[in-house]
Structure 1
Amino acid sequence: MLNFIYKNQTEILFGKGQMSEITSRLPENAKVLLLFGGGSIKKNGVYDQAMSALAGVDVIEFGGVEPNPTYETLMQAVASAKEHNVNFILAVGGGSVIDGAKFVAAAYNFAGEPWDILVKGAEFSNPLPIGAVLTLPATGSESNGNSVVTKKETSQKRAFSSPSVQPVFAVLDPEYTFSLPERQVSNGVVDAFVHVIEQYLTYPVNAPLQDRFAEGILQTLISEGPKALSEPQNYDVRANVMWSATMALNGLIGQGVPQDWSTHMIGHELTALYNLDHAQTLAIVLPALMHVQKEQKSIKIQQLGERVFGFNYSDEAEQIDKTIKAVQDFFEAMAVKTRLADYDLDEQAIDAVVNNLEKNELTTLGEHGDIDLAKVKQILALAL
């Protein structure tokens, strides 16, 4: 097992009715920027519950944060936050809104060009504190310090991470997910699944507890994900999916083990260029990447097949191929297509992704740093 330091500062308020707890977690004399997305929270009752819980608190609203939040919109939120001298951000929505809140928090007191936080790793200090009310389980953003932002002007999707912008609390009420469209449910399950894979499907370092944690999350998503589509009002199913997505990327299963993230890096470029849903890009890239990297990932792919999918083929090559096919079949069962052609993309998209990766200096991906641009082309060609 590799060395690690781990601390998770987010207080999880899990279950029905936990919104009522948020006011007691706010700073004294709170002036809150309420950040949200396209307005669905005003249709499903979450907005009303939030405003009821915030009764007596000075609240400034900023809506319109997009899926795959854009730098351009978030800079407007920064301006609004500064204009009203807010001292706390409450992000109500899915991972995009919470990611956006982290960027706003970091940019609020940043003296330079805020895009440098994402592209140059510029240091920032004294970010605004954040609370989160999760409405779409997927990214785990509610209890980690990660943020991904897209700049429309340049078709760049870049990330930063800092424990200083991790939410101080997060409300996880499974009932808030009952009204989600099927597409968002599907995407959320696939996203969480791939988050686990990025931390699990590398090479062994004698970390059996992390492996078992990861396998438990994967098994739960495989079991409960399809039920979330067929039984949208099932509280227990939604609770299990929500908690699995949080546990997939709150840092726990990634401690002391190598991590990959190449599927995400390649997928980000597909989103930035063609506005595909994040989970759609992951479903396209991962099975093909597993094929191309099956020699390097051989032991863990076989372990995935045995422990998660129940395969026990005597032939190593068959075990690997069946496991990769099972991953792809799971994505399809969650109604997320797994080919570039399914999204009307062809060879030109491959070249565009490779060019963007080169422009963003992302030319050595993977846990071994051995996925170069030629391999990216090979992966995407296999995903056509």
Structure 2
Amino acid sequence: MNPITVVSFEELQAKVSIKNENLFPAFSILEPELTYTLPKRQLANGLSDSFVHVMENYLTYPVGAKLQDRWSEGILHTFIEIGQEVLADEEIDYNTRANFMWTVTNGFNGFTASGVPGDWSSHALGYEITALNGTDHARTLSVILPATMKVRKKEKWDKLLQYAERVWGADSGDEEARIDFGIRKTEEFFRSLEMPTRFSEIGIEETDIDYMVEQLEVHKRDRLSERADQTLDISRKIYEMAL
């Protein structure tokens, strides 16, 4: 699916990623029926994790990559469309799971990253949460992404506005109001999947923030985002916004 893996070291309270083209599978077989055994929590994790993967490449700044933007928006629209169907308690539907597996794969496999800048700060901040208390990776992302959107609104203005218009239909009125609407809808989407959007839901307290910021520095995550302009102070503000 992609050439990236992540390793957690519990004794060091560290989580690090490894990227090497030799890790890229020569081919992969997608069998939707294998998702039938997954609990609802892991299905929601898959939807949310891939959603944020797409957003990491999409929510940066315009570079004129029209097809990449439309690819990303199509994937996001599909997640929104099928989210409740995937988590439905009634009889499992093969076509729904096939769409789920194919959409998640396209969120992860690097297509949306071709020719565009990537942020990945939500992942970096999320790693420190998992390293601290073992929270599922996807559940850290559903908390951190909305907080990042709020704190970094000015820097990501153009793409936030495009996201609100094209993904959530906010195509008229004050620009900031439309952006705020898109952020609210993102949080609502995560909550519809029973995913957390605040630290209080994943056992993180205000007193943990100093330690997590220190760990960001230890792990050389002190200049994040697509422009390498997200300092430790900004990361702290994002953590605080998530309270």
TM-score range, shorter chain: over 0.9
Write out per-residue CA displacement over residues 51-93 of structure 1, whole angstroms, 9 at most, x where no aligned residue: xxxxxxxxxxxxxxxxxxxxxxxxxxxxxxxxxxxxxxxxxxx
Q: Could you tell me which of 45, 49, 68 is aligned with 1:210?
A: 68
Q: Structure 1: 5+ residue runs without aligned partners?
A: 1-142
One-letter amino acid of the structure 2 residue matched with residue 295 of structure 1: K
Please provide the CA RMSD for this pair: 1.0
Q: Could you tell me which of 203, 210, 218 is aligned with 1:344?
A: 203
More helix by share: 2
SS of residue paired to 2:29? strand
SS of residue paired to 1:160? strand
Write out per-residue CA displacement over residues 187-214 of structure 1, whole angstroms, 9 at most, x where no aligned residue: 1100010000000010000000000000
Superposed counterparts of 1:283-298, under 5 Å: 283-298=142-157
Superposed counterparts of 1:213-362, under 5 Å: 213-230=71-88, 231=90, 233-362=92-221
1:232, distance to aligned residue in structure 2 (A):
5.8
For the pair 1:377 / 2:227, whether they are aligned, the reply is: no
SS of residue paired to 2:60? coil
TM-score, L = length of structure 1? 0.62
One-letter amino acid of the structure 1 residue matched with residue 11 of structure 2: E
Query: In structure 1, how many angstroms separate the alpha carbons of the residues matched to 2:208 and 2:185?
Result: 26
For the pair 1:189 / 2:65, whether they are aligned, the reply is: no
Aligned to 1:152: 10
Native 8 Å contact 1:199 1:254 kept in 2 = yes
Superposed counterparts of 1:5-84, under 5 Å: none
Large movers: runs of 4+ above 3 Å: none
SS of residue paired to 2:28? strand
More strand by share: 1
Q: Structure 2: 5+ residue runs without aligned partners?
A: none
Native 8 Å contact 1:148 1:158 kept in 2 = yes
Query: In structure 1, how many angstroms separate the alpha carbons of the residues matched to 2:84 and 2:156?
Result: 27
TM-score, L = length of structure 2? 0.97
Paired-residue identity, %: 43
Superposed counterparts of 1:105-144, under 5 Å: 143-144=1-2
Aligned to 2:28: 170
One-letter amino acid of the structure 2 residue matched with residue 327 of structure 1: T
**Residues matched between the structures, number:** 242
Query: In structure 2, how many angstroms separate the alpha carbons of the residues matched to 1:370 and 1:328?
Result: 25
One-letter amino acid of the structure 1 residue matched with residue 15 of structure 2: K
Native 8 Å contact 1:178 1:232 kept in 2 = no
SS of residue paired to 2:49? helix
Query: In structure 1, how many angstroms separate the alpha carbons of the residues matched to 2:107 and 2:39?
Result: 22
Q: Which has the higher contact order (CA 8 A, sep 6+)?
A: 2
